[in-house]
């Protein structure tokens, strides 16, 4: 994917070079190149998050989201460089009324960038942030008339063919994979809520039924974006992973009730229709190299790992689950975990209590232990295990640091973010 992006920028640069003979030079020329690079990266950014299945499987959504973020900020910085160079070259003529499309695109993309900064993003609800983020598509669309009507780099038939093709790929990816495929799967499988069961205080499981679920291409460890049509903001999507292996007649997700959106899930009634987008994620049995397995979960991060514990073909007594919660009553799926311990030899290691300190994955009770040494004591041969981690970002990052410190190779470290 990075090679594809580099090749795309190289093509854009070549087309700009070929078109310089009959166009102004100096700041104006460099401003045009900055604009072309910005537009190219913006379209690549759209494709990165178009949910193209084979791209998702190859890289994982967390990696694609990281590239999407970097590409987006780089594109916006180039756009600002374009504005600065254009003002230098043309002065007040740059603020001609004919530039209306460009001004609207700039304002729209500025809104998206500002709300994507981590500090601002943390202050927004997921649903609000996601809605604002959709304005990026509007910004892409508004930039097109400006490029075609004013840009001097589109006189060449080759340049026009390239840019129209790139826009077609980006728009087609969104229409097919963000709209068409989810709609088709929703209509084909007709998922509805069967019932909702409490698992622990503030934690509920939703059991869903539907048609031909054996043909739904989902694996344990993956997640969907769910939209429950309960009549109250039903079109707002929420990413929840499966908390059990997918079955031919049912699926199960488990949700922590932490706000308005998730409290709605706890109150769902049987028969509520469900729209699905996915499945996403590559933290599945396809990443399992064989041999012993160690899983580390924090809070509701246990849900995809529980599904994997049911699904992975590890030998008896060859799996360990380290389950971190703040309070004993927050431990969920105790009966299932006890069954797995008895029948498949899964070793359960509960770690209960508040965190020892910022940057550590251990609870306060074990504050005297070094993160890496604690992990090594749990599994002295951890470097030969497949290690699966799911939990809050900061906690999971501390687990990863400890795992790398004890010699676990990157290929055996598995983690996927499915939030924002």
Q: What is the pLDDT of residues 33-72, one digit of tens each?
A: 888 888 888 888 888 888 888 888 888 777 887 887 888 8
Q: What would the 3-class secondary structure string for 284-317 be?
A: CHHHCCCCCEEEEEEHHHHHHHHHHHHHCCCCCC
The pairing of beta strand 319-325 with beta strand 347-352: parallel
The CATH number covering residue 224 comes to 2.40.30.10
In terms of pLDDT, which residue wins out, 135 or 313? Answer: 313
Mean pLDDT to the nearest integer, 240-249: 90
pLDDT of residue 115: 66
Q: Which residues, 6 or more positions from 212, have their beta carbon under 8 angstroms from its beta carbon?
A: 188, 189
* Most trustworthy range by pLDDT among 138-152, 229-243, 331-345: 331-345
Q: How far is CA 73 from its chain centroid?
A: 17
Q: Which residues, 6 or more positions from 209, have their beta carbon under 8 angstroms from its beta carbon?
A: 191, 192, 194, 249, 250
Mean pLDDT to the nearest integer, 26-31: 80
The fraction of the chain above a pLDDT of 70, given in percent, is 81
Using one digit for the tens of pLDDT, what is the confidence trace for 394-415?
Answer: 899 999 999 999 999 998 999 8
Tell me, yes or no, whether 198 and 167 share the same domain: no
Mean pLDDT to the nearest integer, 252-271: 84
Task: Determine how many CB atoms are found less than 10 A away from the CB of residue 218.
Answer: 20
Query: Is the residue at 276 inside a domain?
Result: yes
Q: What does the DSSP 8-state code read for residue 247?
A: -
Tell me, yes or no, whether 15 and 148 share the same domain: yes
pLDDT of residue 3: 80
Please tell me the distance from the alpha carbon of residue 131 to that of residue 112, in angstroms, as a whole number: 10
Query: Is the residue at 55 inside a domain?
Result: yes
Mean pLDDT to the nearest integer, 366-385: 88
pLDDT of residue 2: 72
pLDDT of residue 420: 45
Tell me, yes or no, whether 50 and 81 share the same domain: yes
Tell me, yes or no, whether 103 and 153 share the same domain: yes
HSE toward the beta carbon, residue 200, CA cutoff 13 A: 18
Q: Does 97 score more than 60 pLDDT?
A: no
Tell me, yes or no, whether 276 and 356 share the same domain: no
End-of-domain residue from the set 280, 299, 314 = 280
The CATH number covering residue 362 comes to 3.40.50.80
Q: Which residues, 6 or more positions from 86, have their beta carbon under 8 angstroms from its beta carbon?
A: 27, 28, 31, 94
Query: Is the residue at 362 inside a domain?
Result: yes
Tell me, yes or no, whether 65 and 153 share the same domain: yes
Q: Does 153 score more than 70 pLDDT?
A: no
Q: Which has the minimum average pLDDT: 118-122, 186-190, 256-260, 408-412?
A: 118-122
The pairing of beta strand 413-415 with beta strand 386-390: parallel
- Comparing CA positions, the residue from 338, 374, 347, 191 lying closest to residue 274 is 191
Tell me, yes or no, whether 213 and 251 share the same domain: yes
> Mean pLDDT of all residues in the chain?
83
pLDDT of residue 237: 81
Tell me, yes or no, whether 44 and 145 share the same domain: yes
Tell me, yes or no, whether 311 and 409 share the same domain: yes
pLDDT of residue 21: 56
pLDDT of residue 403: 94
pLDDT of residue 199: 87
Contact 208, 193 (CB under 8 A): yes
Instruction: Give the Å distances, CA to CA, from 394 to 119, 187, 298, 310, 400.
Output: 15, 38, 11, 27, 10
End-of-domain residue from the set 135, 154, 179 = 179
Using 50, 70 and 90 to split pLDDT, how confident is the model at 310? very high
Q: Does 314 score more than 80 pLDDT?
A: yes
End-of-domain residue from the set 179, 207, 233 = 179
Using 50, 70 and 90 to split pLDDT, how confident is the model at 4? confident
Tokens 């795309």, located at residue: 8
Tell me, yes or no, whether 316 and 245 share the same domain: no
Q: Which domain holds residue 314?
A: 285-415
Tokens 């077609």, located at residue: 168
Domains contained in the chain, number: 3
Q: Does 187 score more than 70 pLDDT?
A: yes
Tell me, yes or no, whether 108 and 161 share the same domain: yes
The two counts, helices (H) then strands (E), for the chain are: 15, 11
């Amino acid at each position: 994917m990075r090679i594809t992006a580099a090749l795309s920028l190289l093509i854009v640069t070549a087309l700009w070079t070929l078109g310089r003979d009959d166009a102004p030079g100096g700041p104006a020329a460099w401003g045009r190149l900055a604009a072309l690079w910005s537009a190219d990266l913006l379209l690549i950014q759209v494709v990165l998050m178009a949910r193209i299945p084979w791209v998702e499987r190859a890289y994982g959504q967390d990696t694609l989201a990281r590239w999407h973020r970097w590409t987006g900020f780089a594109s916006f910085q180039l756009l600002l460089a374009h504005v600065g160079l254009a003002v230098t070259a043309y002065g007040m003529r740059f603020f001609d009324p004919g530039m209306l499309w460009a001004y609207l695109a700039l304002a729209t993309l500025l809104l998206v960038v500002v709300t994507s900064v981590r500090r601002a993003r943390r202050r927004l609800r997921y649903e609000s942030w996601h809605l604002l983020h959709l304005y990026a598509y509007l910004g892409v669309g508004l930039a097109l008339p400006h490029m075609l009507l004013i840009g001097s780099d589109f006189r060449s038939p080759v340049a026009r063919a390239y840019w129209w093709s790139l826009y077609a790929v980006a728009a087609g990816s969104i229409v097919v994979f963000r709209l068409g495929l989810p709609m088709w799967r929703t209509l084909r499988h007709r998922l509805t809520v069967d019932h909702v069961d409490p698992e622990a205080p503030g934690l509920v499981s939703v059991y869903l039924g539907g048609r031909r679920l054996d043909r739904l291409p989902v694996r344990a460890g993956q997640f969907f974006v769910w939209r429950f049509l309960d009549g109250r903001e039903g079109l707002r999507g929420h990413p929840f992973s499966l908390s059990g292996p997918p079955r031919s007649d049912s699926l199960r997700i488990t949700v922590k009730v932490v706000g308005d959106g998730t409290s709605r899930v706890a109150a769902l009634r049987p028969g509520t229709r469900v729209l699905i987008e996915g499945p996403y994620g590559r933290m599945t049995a396809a990443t399992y190299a064989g041999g012993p397995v160690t899983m580390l979960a924090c809070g509701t991060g246990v849900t995809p790992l529980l599904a994997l514990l049911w699904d992975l073909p590890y030998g008896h007594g060859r799996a360990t689950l380290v389950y971190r919660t703040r309070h004993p009553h927050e431990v969920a799926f105790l009966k299932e975990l006890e069954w797995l311990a008895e029948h498949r030899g899964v070793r359960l290691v509960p770690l209960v209590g508040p965190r020892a300190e910022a940057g550590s994955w251990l609870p306060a009770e074990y504050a005297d232990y070094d993160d890496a040494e604690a992990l090594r004591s749990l599994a002295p041969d951890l470097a030969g295990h497949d290690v699966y981690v799911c939990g809050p970002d900061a906690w999971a990052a501390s687990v990863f640091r400890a795992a790398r410190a004890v010699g676990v190779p990157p290929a055996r470290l598995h983690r996927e973010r499915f939030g924002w």
